[in-house]
Amino acid sequence: MGNHFSWKRIGLFVLACLSSVSSSFGGVTNPNISVLGTTVVELSEAADDTDSGRPRLRFDEAEFVFDDYLNPFAKGVFIAALSEEGAELEEAYFEIVRGLPAGLGLRAGKYRLDFGRLNSVHPHFYNFPDRPRVLEALLPGEESMNDVGVTLSHLFAAPGGIASTLSLTVVSGSTFRSEDAASEESRLGWTGRWRNFIPIGHRSAVEVGMSAGEGVSDPVGKLRTRLFGLDLKAKLWTSTNSNLTLLGEWIDRRQDRVEIGVSVEESSGGYAAIEYAWTRRTYTGLKAERLESDDDAIPREARLGFYGGSAILEESTVLRAMIERVVLQGSSAYNRYLLQAVFSMGPHKPHQF
């Protein structure tokens, strides 16, 4: 989309959403309606940044969420976003959560793919104020791996309260197609995830996951992208209102490139965070990232950031802040400072992740 900001278009879009809700859903069910907004103040000291040393204030987006059960067996979700770049339908899907044979689950539509720990989660749910650089550099898609697809999943129960979920998704492949592909056509791709939930004691738990995926990045050259990832989250309660959280993810990407013949370009990286919630509404944490790549367009880098956040009075408004040190190969290290405010109306809140 263009960069022209049109309040008239945004107003018409909002009115269309509201009118469609009242007319289309009123006879069957009245969906839950939520609106979330995100405002960010950023200051970067990078030498190649034209605004280096000067704070920048921006409004990231307003997100509209419409969701509810369609019947006792299925639910539907619509998520649209408005920003200075225009309007975008981020997700629109239905999900059958019970009633299928063999305890299967089914999801179909357009949605964030279940790959890794954070890709399927919208950024306002993160406890840190921006998306990890590793995900931005290694995963296909502009803001996330988001595609039209069909997902089948199954939950396996094991002794001791252990739950294991296996899912397989077939996608249209548009998220895998690279920007410089010789054709705008897409080829079918797939992603899969194996997630294991392991309870520890009465409240604490560990969740371990493994993800994989493959798609065509250039249909003409028959070039493919292959992904593999591991992720971990552990939440350990230390008191009634306090807990320690460990979070991490590692991704390996192998992408075909045409040089002299076809070669494979490998990139990998990961992030890890340790976080302590002092109360149910206030937390601080430390996040580290490292990125390695054969791609000249993705410089090797390392990041270390200290972050924190707090819900103001109640969960409808959350403030988050981060100070981050960035070390890029071949460049001088610099600091970034971020302050984020997320506010919401309706049942969906900027919950602490």
Domains of the chain: 101-345 (2.40.160.10)
* Cα separation, 226 vs 97, whole angstroms: 29
Long-range contact pairs involving 8-12 (C-beta distance under 8 Å, separation at least 24)? 9/86, 9/87, 10/82, 10/87
Read off the pLDDT of each residue in 10-36 and give the average, rounded to a whole number. 59
Q: Pick from 271, 202, 200: which is nearest to 230 by CA?
A: 271
**Which pLDDT does position 13 carry in this prediction?**
52
In order of 160, 201, 286, 307, the CA distances from 276 in angstroms are 27, 19, 9, 11
**Which pLDDT does position 287 carry in this prediction?**
98
**Is the pLDDT score of 183 beyond 60?**
yes
Read off the pLDDT of each residue in 33-42 and give the average, rounded to a whole number. 95
Mean pLDDT of the chain: 88
Instruction: Count CA within 13 A, CB hemisphere, residue 259.
Output: 7
Count helices and strands (H / E) in the chain.
2, 16
pLDDT category at 3 given cuts 50, 70, 90 is very low
Buried (b) or exposed (e) across 134-173, using 16+ Cβ within 10 A? Answer: bbebbbbbebbbbbbbebebeeeeeeeeeeebebbbbbbb
Read off the pLDDT of each residue in 240-264 and give the average, rounded to a whole number. 87
Q: pLDDT: is 338 or 141 the higher one?
A: 338
Residue 137: DSSP 8-state: H
**Which pLDDT does position 4 carry in this prediction?**
44
Read off the pLDDT of each residue in 23-34 and give the average, rounded to a whole number. 65
**Is the pLDDT score of 192 beyond 70?**
yes
Read off the pLDDT of each residue in 164-176 and give the average, rounded to a whole number. 96
The pairing of strands 163-171 and 104-112 is: unpaired
pLDDT category at 16 given cuts 50, 70, 90 is low
Q: Each residue of 332-341: pLDDT tens digit?
A: 899 999 999 9
**Is the pLDDT score of 1 beyond 80?**
no
Report which secondary-structure segment, H or E, holds 19: helix 7-20
In degrees and rounded to multiples of 5, residue 351 shows phi and psi of -60, 150
**pTM metric for this prediction:** 0.87
Nearby residues of 49 by Cβ (< 8 Å), 6 or more positions away: none
**Which pLDDT does position 42 carry in this prediction?**
96
**Is the pLDDT score of 221 beyond 80?**
no
**Is the pLDDT score of 319 beyond 80?**
yes
Residue for token digits 């975008």?
88
Q: pLDDT: is 194 or 316 the higher one?
A: 194
In order of 205, 208, 209, 226, the CA distances from 200 in angstroms are 5, 13, 17, 34
Read off the pLDDT of each residue in 247-254 and give the average, rounded to a whole number. 97
Q: pLDDT: is 323 or 123 the higher one?
A: 323
**Which pLDDT does position 291 carry in this prediction?**
96
**Is the pLDDT score of 298 beyond 90?**
no
The percent of residues in the chain predicted with pLDDT above 70, rounded, is 90
* Cα separation, 269 vs 26, whole angstroms: 47
Q: pLDDT: is 137 or 26 the higher one?
A: 137
**Is the pLDDT score of 27 beyond 60?**
no
**Which pLDDT does position 15 carry in this prediction?**
45
**Which pLDDT does position 25 carry in this prediction?**
43
pLDDT category at 299 given cuts 50, 70, 90 is confident
Read off the pLDDT of each residue in 58-73 and give the average, rounded to a whole number. 92
Rounded to 5°, the CA angle 280-38-20 comes to: 105
**Which pLDDT does position 172 carry in this prediction?**
95
